[in-house]
Chain A
Amino acid sequence: MIDIENLRLSIEGKEILKGIDLHLVPGDTYGLLGPNGAGKSTTIFALLGLSAYGSGRISVLGGDPAQHALSIRRSVGVMPEKAGFYDWMTAPDYLKWYGRLYDFSPTDEDVAKMLEKVGLGAVAHRPIGTYSRGMKQRLAVARALTPRPKLLILDEPTNGLDPKGRREIHDLLVEFAADGNAGVLLCTHLLDDVDRLCNRIGIIDNGRTQLEGSITDLLAEQVSGQRYRLRLETAPDTTNLPAGVVMAGHEGGWWRVQVQATPFGEPSALWPELWRRGWKILEIRSEASNLEELYMSHTGQDEAHNREAA
């Protein structure tokens, strides 16, 4: 549904995207991750044909957005990061009006069902200007789903929602993705959303794709060792570490170590060795390898975080 190869894009002479790769096939729920300013929104605008790209290749639903932007957008539901609406309209009027831009005329029943699904049924008669931020966020999801798209692109869809609202939006997205022919591209900072919803991810940083693949495979590759947090009586000598042990940071009295294959076999045999080397260990906690670590290790924030902690 989306194939982006080595996409480069400049705005006013400044190179914003320096090599984006993104591959989304029907049935995928793809999490596009990256820090602020990494180029996530610019990538979305490029694949909708709103920003002209310099080099590389983009194919969305089989077409190049530079040439077939309108026909592509007709099949794509988009929830931009900033959920703006006409405050004087009511939600049903707005959804019907927006649907007509897609040559789609939802019935009153369709609109009422959609608003019920996103939890706005009870306030449907009120002008949108009276809605809270979370309610507008729900309406934005409804807006993206109303034209019954093949591909759904959501930029921070659960921002500002309470846990119940987030769960409802998650359920909606799961329901949408359950049709194996549809695809979802989800841009978010909330790794919990990605963990719950996505089967594939792409991590971009500084305009480049750093990592792309299935979450299961990437996490399996990530577990090349185990991480532990150690609380110590005194600061340890980090220059004299046993083979297979790497310092991973220092945070609030806890020292983080990455333990790969060691000559001591099981990690439990390592602790006496560290004790002999002057590590006065008071407490040991295991850290499971997870999405957050994967994200941090590919966005350059791990190093910055460690420097800050040190």
Chain B
Amino acid sequence: MMNTIWTIVHKESAQMLRSQRGLLWLLAFSGLLSAFSLLLVSNTELSLLDNAQVVYMMAGTVLAAGALLSAILGSDAYAGEKERGTLVPLLCAPVAPSALLAGKAMGLLAAWGVMFAVATPYLWAVGASGQNLGAALFYLALFGTPVVLGFGYLAMALSARTGSVLASLLSTVTLLMLAASPLIIGPGLRGTAIGRALDAVNPFAGALNTFDSVIIDSDPFSAQTARLLLVIVWLGLCLIAARRSAARPDFQ
């Protein structure tokens, strides 16, 4: 079982690093971070933003990009393989559905790891002069990983069920935009009853609020346990959905 999982992880990771598509994505991600960090640094120099605020925004951007990558890779995981004709050969091989799902999820984690590594120097560039870079990196890993993986599992569930990359990607990205809306709507609207209700069940908002709490307000870890529980529950629910769909994927 482990051997099969590693074989799939090996392919998924190599696809990310060796295929044109994967390299283009990494290039686009680097370009986004370059432009964003330049913008933030120049704003800092003009004293428009303080250092903690800049690091918070950068961490939120990395999380959003990670979740988007996860939605794309997850949507491609089954439906993309089906459309390229590579799913049936995989299913005809002695690969358990759970091993295939685990391999694909670990490949997604590897891609998130690469993104995290690419983002680290940018975070350092904008936050090295402050006190909160370490906390930003730690909480980005701790909260970002389950959020990103959860979106990946959700996309894989839809991808395996619908057999269509487009349907899966549109559904996941719509949900992602809804989840990321706190980043867009601003603190004023988030203070309303609807905003607070959305924050309470939204894993993406949970991660962002944690970044806000630890990076800007320097709150301790103990203040983050409820939000950590939220993102773990989110990950668990998405995993259950993915396992159910991946047990009998649409391959014909």
Contact = CB atoms under 8 A, between A and B. Distances in A.
A45 B18 contact: no
B94 A97 contact: no
Interface in B1-52: 3-4, 7, 10-11, 15, 18-20
Given A88-B19, A97-B7, A143 B94 contact: no
Given A84-B86, A97-B10, A103-B3, A48 B92 contact: yes
Contacts of A103: 3, 94
Q: From A52, A73, A100, name the one whose CB has the most chain B CB atoms within 10 angstroms.
A: A100
A111 to B, nearest CB: 16
B18 A101 contact: no
Interface in B55-112: 81, 84-96
A101 B91 contact: no
Interface stretch (A75-83, A188-196, A268-276, A291-299): A75-83
Contacts of B19: 88
B26 to A, nearest CB: 15
A82 to B, nearest CB: 4
A48 B90 CA distance: 12
B124 interface: no
B192 interface: no
Contacts of B4: 101
A74 to B, nearest CB: 4
Contacts of A45: 252
A86 B252 CA distance: 19
A101 B92 CA distance: 10
Given A84-B84, A85-B86, A102 B15 contact: no
Interface of B is mostly: helix
Interface residues of A, number: 25
B222 to A, nearest CB: 46
Contact of B88 (A74, A82, A86, A88): A82
Contacts of A304: none
B94 A82 contact: no
A103 B4 CA distance: 8
Interface residues of B, number: 26
Given A84-B84, A100-B3, A78 B92 contact: yes
B84 A100 contact: no
A224 interface: no
Contacts of A52: 248
Given A45-B252, A48-B92, A84 B85 contact: yes
B247 to A, nearest CB: 11
Nearest to A51: B252
A50 B251 contact: yes
A253 to B, nearest CB: 43
Contact of B18 (A82, A83, A88, A98): A88
B1 to A, nearest CB: 10
A50 B91 contact: yes
Contacts of B90: 101
Contacts of B87: 84
Contacts of A220: none
Contact of B7 (A74, A78, A82, A101): A101
Nearest to B10: A97
B92 A97 contact: no
Interface string A54-94: 00000000000000001101101010101111101000000
Contacts of B81: 84
Contacts of B92: 48, 50, 73, 76, 78, 80
Q: From B4, B18, B88, name the one whose CB has the most chain A CB atoms within 10 angstroms.
A: B88
Contacts of B93: 73, 98, 101-102
B94 A102 contact: yes
B31 to A, nearest CB: 22
Contacts of B18: 88
22 contacts: A41-B252, A48-B91, A50-B92, A52-B248, A70-B94, A70-B95, A70-B96, A76-B92, A78-B92, A84-B86, A84-B87, A84-B88, A84-B89, A85-B85, A85-B86, A88-B18, A88-B20, A97-B11, A98-B89, A101-B4, A101-B7, A101-B95
> What are the nearest 4 A-B pairs in CB distance?
A84-B85, A82-B85, A84-B86, A78-B92
Interface of B: 3-4, 7, 10-11, 15, 18-20, 81, 84-96, 248, 251-252
Interface of A: 41, 45, 48, 50, 52, 70-71, 73-74, 76, 78, 80, 82-86, 88, 97-98, 100-103, 143
